[in-house]
Amino acid sequence: MVIPRIRPGVALGLAVCVLLLLAALAPGLFSGTGPDAANPADTLLPPGSAHWMGTDENGRDVYSRVVHGARPSLLIGLAASALALAAGTLVGVLAAQGGRTVDRIAGRLLDVLLSIPGVLLVLLVVAVLGTGTGNLVAGLALVTLPGYARLVRAEVLRVRGTGYVEAATVLGWSRLQVVLRHVVPNAVGPLVALATVGVGGMIVTGSALSFLGLGPQPPTAEWGAMLAGSGDYVQVAWWTAVFPGAAITLTVLAVSAVGQWLQDRAEGRVAR
Amino acid sequence: MSTETRPGTADPRTEPAPPVVEVRGLHVSFPGPRGPVTAVRGLSLTVGAGESVALVGESGSGKSVTARTLVGLAGPGARTTAELFRIDGHDAGALSDRRWRPLRGRRIGFVLQDALVSLDPLRRVGDEIAEALHAHRTVPRAEVPARVLTLLAEAGVPEPGLRARQFPHQLSGGLRQRALIASALAADPALLIADEPTTALDVTVQAQILELLAERRRAGRALLLISHDLAVVARVADRVLVMKDGEVVEQGPTAEVLAEPRHPYTRQLLAAVPRPRARGTRLSGPRAGSALPRPRTGERVVLRAEGLGKSFAVPGHAPLAAVRDVSLTLREGRTLGIVGESGSGKSTTGRLLLGLAAPDTGSVEVDGQSWQGLRGARRRALHRRIQVVHQDPLSSFDPRYPVARIIAEPLAATGVPRRARAGRVAELMAQVGLGPELLHRRPRELSGGQRQRVAIARALAPRPRIVVLDEPVAALDVSVQAQVLDLLAELRAELGVAYVFVSHDLGVVRHVADEVLVMKDGEVVESGDIAEVLTAPRHPYTRQLLDAVPHLDGPNPGKVR
């Protein structure tokens, strides 16, 4: 096997992603104190040796809350992307393979979804279904789905005309088997990389909606919600806003760098 | 490696005039990940005024790099050194890009292999040629349009007035190549360099282009022809240089080199050309010329087609009949050749035989069973009896799959358990002459010949009775073509499989086929036993195809009409 040569930026992104995943899976590794352990005596302490990132208005350790905030933030980004990818693939493959009527109906529905501005659509979903992480994820996925579905449909049509699909027919696979073995994997391949880039955007939008109070509810440690909570104190205690904000920025940069790299690889723009 | 040089290489007629190209000790190298890669080492070449020289070698021999270096376009990062490098009397080693420009086009014309990518798709053909005329200011501005038409007519383009107003995509491959030659000749250069000018073309069109080049030589203009095929250059070149791994291994007057090659590599290249008398013998390797194993043939009919017809809808036009009334019979272990040019319907016929398209009329029976009305598991079972190998194997492989998985696919489709597949894959790899170290490579990392072997292995995996070979060697160098043809013959003898061999090259079909079907415009114009059809062709088109096959055995009788 050839050991891939990775650009330093991508390596850094990968390292950050690994740290984030660890923080999301086992926050205890990074922080001994709980995110909700409040100490009324230590409110709004600046960063120091006891609290690296200071404390918030309730005397909770900001560092601990940033570490614990990785889980809901990543969960929203990854779950929404995965859901959008799965649903988009399903709709796209059905539209491409299901005949003219199915294709037309799917196309019109996607047009309707695309015509509504993204944030409004999420607000609508949350307004109807109620606030909470699950509904936020559903809303975010619904916004992203039409683009993915369109792309999958186009890719399926392209892959269906390739020589290897015809070759598979000659080799004696059934139509369904050809679709599952060759058409779908090759149609979705480029999309997976694109979806990884999309995770960053999902995290930002998710955080923005949490900031508006539509996502995970207090006292859950979530970066967007932490930013929202810091609003009243940011003039006297900058650390309550800067660290969660930096966490969002760093995560998006790292995830996007890795996603871009995956996409380049998928399109054969970098050597294996 | 020793260079075989013959006395009397220079043509005495051209002695007084200074040579157009004079190169001695040319080295060209390119930067690579592990140090510089040398593409040309120590090449010496002289092309006298009015002389026609050919540079022959397979892909990677350095022949194209040499051609590009001669026009100062070796490529980015190329390091060029030479003891002597004179173009048209100028010392080209010292030329800046600015000083090169007037030489290109005016003194040296350059024609590339693929005319479609060499012509600007958004520009009319006439404008392309007019631009070359403007650039060199060889004729007064007012005379340019008339000159364009003359050039096109001289390049053998019919209806030059109409063609000049068309775009490249509206022209056929042969016409495009002529238009490109016309633009290269616009300033009437002393030397024309043509890099594989006929490789992408049908044989009859190739013959016309070669005739056009020969015409120019007769007009006293110098020509440097680059090709992988000795037979192609045999008709046009006074002198041949054979290149291998960046070095010239043999050179001399064409007739001498062809009649008594001295270097083993030249002998190998010559042996690779499927000549009439090479039928039934090997074309490649050290055993070239030895008899091939006799195929096991039988009387049982494995494939029969009756009155096949297929037409395609064309928006705004009457339906286009791609295939009309084609009937054929193929018996066990035999080879049926289908010959025709692009658009003759031969590939559509192949698809109908494979059951990939349904015929409008007629029927196809594989092993006595018709495709018609066959569905589900029984149709899939019939698919496995008739397999296919394409011209471009790369596009017929799933890009995600390594070689092992590609060859195992038909086994998986028949439900062979995973553990049993590896043994059969190893057996197939050995049968087609691929080493086990290639099992985990991706097709993109293989050479053209290796890819074609993988495609053959996959086709043989379900133990088919028939394999449809759709232009299996059209994209390969002559030497690799020879290896693949030998392999196909050996497999036929070993496995008793029957072939439908679809090709535009009657020379290749003559080598492999027992019976032949000559197709033109969707119809069979002639068919029968290969020896009968070729010794006494009844249809003028068959005669035309036969004349167009480049040969090594003396001057072409077809030209003395």
pLDDT tens readout for residues A239-267: 888 898 899 899 989 988 888 888 777 66
Sign (positive/negative) of CA torsion B536, B542, B547, B552? negative
Q: Which residues of A touch B409 (CB under 8 A)?
A: 168, 171
Task: Enumerate long-range contacts of B103-106, CB under 8 Å, 24 or more apart.
Answer: B103/B71, B103/B72, B104/B71, B104/B72, B105/B132, B105/B135, B105/B136, B105/B184, B105/B186, B105/B187, B105/B189, B106/B136, B106/B138, B106/B187, B106/B189
User: Nearest-CA neighbor of B555 among B229, B209, B234?
Assistant: B234
Question: Tokens 């055993």 — which residue?
Answer: B287
Beta strand pairing status for B21-30 and B37-47? antiparallel
Cβ–Cβ of A163/B395 closer than 8 Å?
Answer: yes
- Given CB atoms, is A170 within the 8 Å cutoff of chain B? yes
- Given CB atoms, is B387 within the 8 Å cutoff of chain A? yes
Distance between A101 CA and the closest CA of chain B, angstroms:
22
> Out of B381, B397, B414, whose CB is closest to A164?
B397
Across B293-313, average pLDDT: 90
Q: Which residues of A touch B414 (CB under 8 A)?
A: 172
What is chain B's alpha carbon radius of gyration, rounded to the nearest angstrom?
25
Per-residue confidence (pLDDT) for residue B505, from 0 to 100:
87
- Given CB atoms, is A173 within the 8 Å cutoff of chain B? yes
Average pLDDT of chain A? 85
Q: Encoding tokens for residue B340?
A: 């025709």
* DSSP H or E stretch at residue B28: strand B21-30
Across B304-327, average pLDDT: 89
Per-residue confidence (pLDDT) for residue B114, from 0 to 100:
66
Q: Encoding tokens for residue B300?
A: 């049982």
Task: Tell which of B352, B371, B378, B380 to mutate to test the A interface (max A CBs under 10 Å).
Answer: B380
Give the number of residues written for chain B: 561
At B87, give phi and psi (nearest 5°).
-110, 115
pLDDT at B554 over 70: no
Cβ–Cβ of B400/A186 closer than 8 Å?
Answer: yes
Task: Tell which of A3, A165, A169, A171 to mutate to test the B interface (max B CBs under 10 Å).
Answer: A171
Per-residue confidence (pLDDT) for residue B553, from 0 to 100:
61
Cβ–Cβ of A174/B376 closer than 8 Å?
Answer: yes
> Out of B376, B386, B398, whose CB is closest to A164?
B398
The predicted-structure confidence for B244-260, as pLDDT tens digits, reads as follows 988 999 999 998 998 88
* Cα B35 to the center of its chain, rounded Å: 33
Percent of chain B with pLDDT over 70: 94
Percent of chain A with pLDDT over 90: 26
Between positions 462 and 481 of B, the ones with CB within 8 A of A are 462
CA distance A53 to A47: 4
CA distance B414 to B384: 9
Per-residue confidence (pLDDT) for residue B3, from 0 to 100:
54
- Given CB atoms, is B388 within the 8 Å cutoff of chain A? yes
Q: Which residues of A touch B392 (CB under 8 A)?
A: 163
The predicted-structure confidence for B193-209, as pLDDT tens digits, reads as follows 988 888 767 888 888 88
Closest residue, chain A, to B440 (C-alpha): A1
Per-residue confidence (pLDDT) for residue B558, from 0 to 100:
35
CA distance A218 to B386: 67
Is-contact A74 A223, C-beta < 8 A? no
Lowest-pLDDT range of A66-75, B3-12, B224-233, B489-498: B3-12
Cβ–Cβ of A162/B395 closer than 8 Å?
Answer: yes
Angle between helices B478-495 and B448-460 (to 10 degrees): 20
- Given CB atoms, is B32 within the 8 Å cutoff of chain A? no
Cβ–Cβ of A170/B354 closer than 8 Å?
Answer: yes
Q: Which residues of B touch A188 (CB under 8 A)?
A: none
Distance between B354 CA and the closest CA of chain A, angstroms:
7
- Given CB atoms, is A163 within the 8 Å cutoff of chain B? yes
- Given CB atoms, is A186 within the 8 Å cutoff of chain B? yes
CA distance B538 to B557: 17
Task: Tell which of A159, A170, A177 to mutate to test the B interface (max B CBs under 10 Å).
Answer: A170
CA distance A144 to A140: 7
Closest residue, chain A, to B442 (C-alpha): A272
Q: Which residues of B touch A186 (CB under 8 A)?
A: 398-400
Question: What pTM did the predictor assign?
Answer: 0.80
Across A15-36, average pLDDT: 84
pLDDT at B1 over 60: no
pLDDT band for position A111 (cuts 50, 70, 90):
very high
The predicted-structure confidence for A156-213, as pLDDT tens digits, reads as follows 999 988 889 989 988 888 888 999 999 998 888 778 878 887 888 888 888 888 888 8
Task: Tell which of A164, A177, A192, A265 to mutate to test the B interface (max B CBs under 10 Å).
Answer: A164
Distance between B347 CA and the closest CA of chain A, angstroms:
14
The predicted-structure confidence for B361-416, as pLDDT tens digits, reads as follows 999 999 999 999 888 889 999 999 999 998 888 889 998 899 999 999 999 988 88
pLDDT at A53 over 90: no
- Given CB atoms, is B419 within the 8 Å cutoff of chain A? no
Is-contact B443 B433, C-beta < 8 A? no
H helices of B345-413, where? 346-353, 376-383, 403-413
CA distance B547 to B78: 42
Cβ–Cβ of B396/A167 closer than 8 Å?
Answer: yes
User: Number of CB pairs < 8 Å for A and B?
Assistant: 55
H helices of A116-238, where? 118-129, 133-160, 163-170, 175-178, 184-211, 223-230
Cβ–Cβ of B380/A172 closer than 8 Å?
Answer: yes
Distance between A173 CA and the closest CA of chain B, angstroms:
6
Is-contact B350 B377, C-beta < 8 A? no
Distance between A170 CA and the closest CA of chain B, angstroms:
5
ipTM score assigned to the predicted complex: 0.71
CB neighbour list of residue A250: distance below 8 Å, 6 or more residues apart: A16
Across B516-525, average pLDDT: 93
